């Protein structure tokens, strides 16, 4: 009788070992190495390399010249939600496998149900629910007022049945909610275990590649923030996106972690409402809600939040101190950085604020830890001190060094482009961040030293 093959795999990171050990040597997690049955011999190897072999028809594999390989322009399927498409790199690519991760309650099922109901109007779609009953899904769709007439629904967790249904239905887009509950009869371990998740995801992905179906897999995030069986899935899927949101905020962010068809530095922002997830079309300015008239002590800067520029207003108030030891209070900013910047302002800008209380605040409760806020903060302080408002259409960013030099910050071009999009017409930026070609409708003042920046807002 053939010996049953087993391996020991870490449930956190997917590393495998030939024998059991208490701690995973790769990720350092304790008690995560579990025994996994590999199923009939040779099956696993076949599953992994099937995709690679598919391209070689003859007996002797032959290498091709890169330039000779015919590529057709992929026609992406627009998901209907601009923010979702943006994270995917412009829409769903036929034949791709996309993993949508997130903690429970983030809104993964809601997002995918909404997307699929809209997509189903133009092409065959199938929603496979393994966690909720058909009634629950239907109730939600009805409550959200989604178009329900075209979407086909199935409650199934067995991967063989799912594959059979896919063969029969041949949908263009399929959602499997979630991969952790899908199991195969061929594998002895429990649903949700590494081997089940890996083999089921591999089978579904293979089907997607062969049939050109878009496969959307829902995956749960474990308590430490990683996708259950993370590395196991990551190499076989094409895109991995994460839906995140804190409990006290209605905003949800969709972030690309891996994308074979686009950049990963895209961030989609949604708001969870009682009518489901709504796109936030202008996320970069959600924290920018300014009064009509210019006021002194206020400046707008562009910070880099995650992977997207965000416009935020910074306010400063400089007032004569009644105390012997004037106060320096920073909300949303680092206290020490404020003290340091005030010293730079005195030494290199010639502005003496030693006898003044200085308060600084980032509007909207945003926390700014980036050094690109330095220059905007300094100019806001000067504006308040002189009681002279900065122009309302001015945007500022740049790091301030201890010798009064203005240092460049990453992604200067993108920051300027974002500000221009929101109607800002002037910008004070570090010399090295000055755009090579002019930005239409925007006057950029590149500065090298603090004095130049002060002179620019005279």
- Cβ distance 184 to 144 under 8 Å? no
Per-residue tokens: 333 = 């900013």
What part of residues 135-174 is at the interface with ligand TYD (CB under 6 A)? Answer: 140, 144
CB of 285: closest distance to ligand TYD in angstroms? Answer: 24
**CA torsion through residues 179, 181, 186, 190, sign:** positive
Q: 26: buried, middle or exposed (CB in 10 Å: 19+, 13-18, 0-12)?
A: middle
Provide the mask over 357-386, with x wherever binding to ligand TYD is found by CB under 6 A and - wherever it is not.
------------------------------
Q: What is the rounded (10 degree) CA torsion for 92, 268, 221, 80?
A: -40
Pick what 209 binds: Mg ion, ligand TYD, none; C-beta below 5 to 8 Å, kind-dependent: none
If binding is defined by CB under 6 A, does position 105 make contact with ligand TYD? yes
Round to whole Å and give the CA distance between 154 and 366. 43
The site partner of 144 among Mg ion, ligand TYD, none (C-beta below 5 to 8 Å per kind) is ligand TYD
Closer Cβ to ligand TYD, 209 or 255, answer by number: 255
The item of Mg ion, ligand TYD, none sharing an interface with residue 107, based on CB under 5 to 8 Å by kind, is ligand TYD
Q: Write down the least CB distance from residue 77 to Mg ion, Å.
A: 22
Q: Which does 102 bind (CB under 5 to 8 A by kind): Mg ion, ligand TYD, none?
A: ligand TYD
Site for Mg ion in 62-121 (CB under 5 A): 109
Dihedral Cα 11, 16, 17, 23, nearest 10 deg: -40
Question: Is-contact 202 182, C-beta < 8 A?
Answer: no
Around 71, how many Cα atoms within 13 Å sit in the side-chain half-sphere? Answer: 7
Rounded to the nearest whole angstrom, what is the least distance from the CB of residue 8 to ligand TYD in the complex?
A: 31
Among 39, 89, 101, 102, binds ligand TYD (CB under 6 A): 102
The one among 106, 302, 338, 342 contacting ligand TYD by CB under 6 A: 106
Query: Least distance (Å) from Mg ion to the CB of residue 102?
Result: 9
With contacts defined by CB under 6 A, name the span among 99-107, 167-175, 226-234, 394-402 that binds ligand TYD.
99-107
The nearest distance, CB 409 to ligand TYD, in angstroms, is 35
Q: Does 11 bind Mg ion (CB under 5 A)?
A: no
Residue 144 class from Cβ within 10 Å (0-12 exposed, 13-18 middle, 19+ buried)?
middle
User: Out of ligand TYD, Mg ion, none, which partner does residue 348 contact, by CB within 5 to 8 A per kind?
Assistant: none
CB 218 to Mg ion: min, Å: 6
Give yes or no for residue 219 binding ligand TYD (CB under 6 A). no
Picked from Mg ion, ligand TYD, none, the partner binding residue 120 (CB below 5 to 8 A depending on kind) is: none
- Smallest distance, Å, CB 140 to ligand TYD? 5
Q: Which stretch binds ligand TYD (CB under 6 A): 53-61, 102-110, 221-229, 413-421?
A: 102-110
Per-position x/- string for 276-295, each x denoting binding to ligand TYD as judged by CB under 6 A, each - no binding:
x-------------------
- Helix 194-211 to helix 43-53 angle (10° resolution) is 30
State yes or no: residue 104 binds ligand TYD (CB under 6 A).
yes
- Determine, following the binding rule CB under 5 A, whether residue 205 of this chain makes contact with Mg ion: no
Question: Is 40 a residue that touches ligand TYD (CB under 6 A)?
Answer: no
Q: Do 394 and 458 meet the contact criterion of CB atoms below 8 Å apart?
A: no
Tokens of 82: 């601009």
Q: Is 196 in the site for Mg ion (CB under 5 A)?
A: no
Nearer to ligand TYD, 277 or 429 (CB): 277
Q: How far is the CB of 275 from ligand TYD (least distance, A)?
A: 6
What are the residues binding Mg ion (CB under 5 A)?
A: 109
Binding stretches for ligand TYD (CB under 6 A) = 102, 104-110, 140, 144, 272, 274-276
């Amino acid at each position: 009788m053939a010996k049953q093959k087993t391996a020991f795999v870490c449930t956190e990171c997917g590393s495998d070992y030939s024998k059991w050990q208490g701690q995973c040597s790769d990720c350092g997690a304790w008690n995560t190495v579990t025994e996994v049955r590999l199923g009939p011999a040779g099956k696993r190897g076949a599953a992994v390399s099937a995709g690679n072999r598919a391209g070689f028809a003859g007996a002797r594999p032959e290498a091709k010249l890169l330039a000779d390989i015919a590529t057709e322009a992929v026609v992406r399927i627009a998901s209907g939600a601009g923010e979702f498409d943006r994270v995917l790199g412009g829409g769903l690519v036929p034949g791709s496998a996309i993993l949508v991760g997130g903690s429970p309650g983030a809104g993964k099922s809601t997002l995918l149900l909404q997307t699929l109901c809209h997509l189903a109007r133009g092409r065959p779609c199938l929603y496979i629910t393994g966690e909720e009953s058909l009634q629950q899904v239907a109730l939600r769709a009805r409550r959200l007022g989604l178009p329900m007439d075209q979407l086909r629904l199935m409650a199934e967790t067995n991967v063989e049945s799912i594959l059979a249904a896919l063969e029969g239905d041949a949908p263009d887009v399929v959602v499997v909610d979630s991969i952790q509950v899908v199991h195969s009869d061929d594998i002895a371990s429990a649903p949700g275990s590494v081997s089940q998740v890996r083999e089921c995801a591999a089978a579904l992905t293979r089907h997607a590649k062969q049939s050109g179906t878009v496969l959307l897999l829902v995956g749960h995030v474990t308590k430490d923030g990683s996708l259950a069986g993370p590395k196991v899935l990551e190499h076989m899927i094409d895109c991995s996106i994460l839906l995140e949101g804190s409990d006290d905020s209605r905003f949800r962010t969709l972030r690309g972690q891996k994308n074979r068809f686009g950049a990963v530095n895209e961030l989609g922002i949604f708001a969870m409402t009682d009518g489901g997830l709504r796109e936030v079309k202008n996320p970069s300015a959600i924290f920018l809600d300014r009064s009509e008239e210019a006021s002194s002590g206020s400046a707008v800067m562009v910070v880099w939040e995650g992977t997207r520029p965000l416009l935020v207003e910074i306010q400063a108030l400089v007032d004569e101190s009644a105390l012997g030891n004037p106060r320096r209070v920073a909300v949303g900013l680092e206290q020490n950085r404020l003290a340091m910047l005030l010293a730079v302002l005195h030494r290199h800008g010639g502005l003496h604020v030693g006898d003044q209380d200085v308060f600084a605040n980032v509007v909207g409760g945003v926390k700014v830890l980036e050094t690109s806020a330095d220059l905007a903060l300094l100019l806001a302080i000067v504006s308040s001190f002189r009681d002279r408002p900065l122009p309302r259409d001015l945007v500022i960013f740049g790091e301030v060094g201890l010798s009064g030099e203005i240092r460049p910050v990453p992604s200067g071009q993108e920051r300027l482009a974002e500000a221009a999009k929101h109607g800002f017409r002037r910008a004070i930026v570090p010399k090295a961040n000055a755009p090579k070609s002019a930005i239409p409708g925007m006057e950029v003042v590149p500065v090298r030293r603090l004095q130049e920046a002060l002179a620019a807002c005279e």
